[in-house]
Structures are given as structure tokens and as C-alpha cells.
Amino acid sequence: MKILVTGGTGFIGSHTVVELQAIGSEVIIVDNLSNSNIAVLDNIEKISGIRPGFEQFDLADQALTANFFERNHGISGIIHFAAYKAVGESVDKPLHYYRNNLVSLMNILDGMLTHGITNVVFSSSCTVYGQPDELPVSEQSPIKPAFSPYGNTKQIAEEILHDTLHAYPQLRAIALRYFNPIGAHPSALIGELPLGIPNNLVPFITQTAIGKRQQLRVFGNDYNTPDGTAIRDYIHVVDLAKAHVVAINRMINQNMKKPLEMFNLGTGTGLSVLDVIKSFEKVSGQKLNYVIVDRRPGDVEKVWADTSFANNELGWKAKSTTDEMMLSAWNWEKALAVNEKSNS
Ligand code: UFG
């Protein structure tokens, strides 16, 4: 089967491409490379032995997207990752976020309707739950007002899917609500490639340990949690990628219970920032240089997933331990350092 993966050179996208290729799917990637690197294609090919198809353009461009669908036939399903994802940046550039994240989804849905493509998997986020009243958070938990324009794009995108599927009953969609994806492929050939200073915890930890950053700042130790630092549900990117393969197969094999389904993708375990640091120190054998500073504005205190619906319905479960996730992230950072050295 032929699958279009938008944002397929990005962090989660590239890992998903590899898993799709492993089950024999033909993959075509569309990415504008605004937050990724063309060299990812070489590394995907090194892992799988197959170079995915690739086109570089902006899916927020209606004419270019329509033209892509005119030229590419036989697509069985779409996995739509392409989006901006930096929470803080979205506060400063809201229109940038609304335009990119929502217009691209609408252009893709237009292409699906025009060309009879019925299946789309959408990258959503646990950010749609805000700070939940009850933990763990299940798919039935209320959607809270978004904390950021980025979070709002995920909420609105789910509404766009809901309304479009209502109007066009031939369409089906699965929204996967990711918790905190971390780690890298075991080959250390693909992983997270933050542009500039990382926003997220794990790349900041590994960059500090390798010497690219001086010190990690831990944002707040006065939360209502056992050690005072904020709690998240960290999931290995390879486990997450595998869930996309299950989701696309579920649609293509017509096993869905409703035209639009939502699933939480996490491990079900909450870890504090200090837990993550401890795991890193254990697997890397080094002490991390960190300091406790004030809370980061907009951060929720604690969130972790009730994964029972995803586990039971998809027959999928996140398998990796925290140490495995942190070791893979560290191996990836070290491999990047070796590459940078040999290129300099
Ligand atoms: N943290 C630090 N220091 C850092 C970076 C992060 O202490 O340098 C802390 C944060 O305060 C938070 C935890 O580490 O408590 C995780 O932070 P991340 O930035 O890695 O992840 P977030 O949970 O803030 O954000 C992630 C995704 C978003 C998504 C959000 C939903 O990056 O796309 O989860 O909760 F919207």
C-alpha cells in the first residue's frame, strides 16, 4: 500500500516512515524542510534499504497541494505530521501557527475528497486536555481551553476533522494524542534534530551532557508532586511510530468502530523532571549539570495517560523502559557529535 507521510523527515515522521517500510508499505514524504534536514532521507535509506519518495513543498499552499494530488495516484492513506510545534513560539506568532497547522490540514482534506482518498491519521497532542482534573487522563476527559495557540491548533484541527467527516461520511480519521515523545531509533541514524536551542527536556539534557549547552535549567521544584518537579508521560518515539502503523492498518482494514477515533499514546506512567535526569545519569554514567529555576510559564503541573483504550482497541502498547528511551537519546546525541566532528 502507498502511504503519504507529511512531515516525514521530522522527528516522529521519520521513525514512522521506517516502520511503514518495515511492513512493506511504499512511502511518499511531503515536507517543506522548515524544521528538518534533507539528509534524513539518506539515513532512512540506510536503515531500511529503501529510499522513500520525497517532494519538498509547503502543504499550506493550496495550489501546490492540489497539484501534488493530481500527480500522485493510488494513495491508500495519509499520515499527517507536518505542523509547527513549539509552544512558546506559537504565543509570539499565532497567525503563523494557525495558518500553517490548519490550512495544511484543510488542503489535505480537499485533496482526499477530490481524489477519493478516505483514510487520514492526524498528529494530535495531550495538550488538548490542558491540566486535567483527574489523572490518568482518558480519551473521555474534557477538552480544556488551550494553553497556547499551538494547543489551540490541535483542538481546532480535531474539530475540523469532526465536522468534515460529518459532512462526508466516506472519510475516516484517527487522531493520535501524543504525550511526550523522546528517544531515537536504535541505529542512532535518525532522532530528534532541534534547530537552535532545544525547547524540550530530553534534547536539552543530551546537549548539555555532550557540551553543546552549559547547564540544564529545571523549571520549578515547587509543584504539587512527590519531588516538586513537573510530571509528564514520556514515550519512546519508536513505540509511537508503531502505533501509526497500527492505526493506518485499522483504517485500511475497516476495523474502526466510528468514523473518527481518538487515542492517547503514552506509557501510562508519569515521570518527574528529576526522574528523567536520574535515568539519564544512570545510562550515560555521567553527572548532569543542572540548576533549579522558576517555573516555565504555561507549563501544566502533571499529566499522564490512561492508555487502556489504545491498548485494548489497537492491540498496541508502549514497550520501552525509561532507561531504554534515555539511552537511545544519548546514543543519538553521541552519533551526531561524531558526524559533526568528521564534517568539520
Ligand atoms: N523542562 C525543564 N527544562 C527544560 C525543558 C523542559 O525543566 O529545559 C521541563 C518542563 O518544564 C516540563 C518537562 O520538562 O515540566 C517537559 O517539558 P518539554 O518541553 O519537553 O515538554 P512539554 O510537556 O512542555 O511539551 C510537550 C510537547 C508539546 C505538547 C505538550 C503537551 O513538546 O508539543 O507536551 O503537554 F504540546
pLDDT value of residue 343: 83
pLDDT, one tens digit per residue, over 262-273 is: 999 999 999 999
195 or 304, which is more confident?
Answer: 304
Please give the distance, rounded to the nearest whole angstrom, from the Cα atom of residue 12 to the centre of ligand 1.
16
pLDDT value of residue 342: 86
pLDDT value of residue 298: 82
Q: Is the C-beta atom of 97 inside 6 A of ligand 1?
A: no
pLDDT value of residue 344: 77
pLDDT value of residue 210: 97
196-212: average pLDDT: 96
* pLDDT of 340 above 90: no
* pLDDT of 131 above 90: no
61-78: average pLDDT: 98
Distance CA 292, CA 190 (A): 31
Please give the distance, rounded to the nearest whole angstrom, from the Cα atom of residue 200 to the centre of ligand 1.
5
Q: Is the C-beta atom of 217 inside 6 A of ligand 1?
A: yes
85-92: average pLDDT: 91
Tell me if residue 168 is catalytic: no
Q: Whose CA is nearest to atom 3 of ligand 1?
A: 218
70-94: average pLDDT: 95
Please give the distance, rounded to the nearest whole angstrom, from the Cα atom of residue 96 to the centre of ligand 1.
21
